């Protein structure tokens, strides 16, 4: 169960990192501004920062638990 959750959090973090591609990259940045998926740029940045931090903490917690069980 922990390995499955660890894999899901890993995929989640990869997706978040792709959403955080720098603004000069025209492809994803233009998509995000045209579709307005994440709202305004400042609130989207803050939201992604919080989400990334929570995901990293959850990943480390699960990784430590998996290592202690082995």
Measured CA to CA, the distance from residue 55 to residue 12 in angstroms comes to: 8
pLDDT in tens, 12-65: 888 888 877 665 555 555 555 554 555 566 777 788 788 889 999 999 999 999
Domain ranges within the chain, ordered by starting residue: 2-69
- The pTM of this model reads 0.67
pLDDT of residue 4: 92
Measured CA to CA, the distance from residue 23 to residue 37 in angstroms comes to: 15
């Amino acid at each position: 169960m922990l390995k499955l959750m660890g894999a899901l959090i890993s995929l989640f973090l990869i997706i978040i990192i792709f959403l955080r591609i720098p603004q000069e990259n025209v492809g994803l940045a233009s998509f995000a501004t045209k579709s307005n998926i994440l709202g305004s740029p400042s609130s989207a940045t803050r939201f992604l920062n919080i989400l990334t931090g929570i995901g990293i903490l959850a990943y480390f917690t699960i990784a430590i638990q998996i290592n202690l069980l082995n």
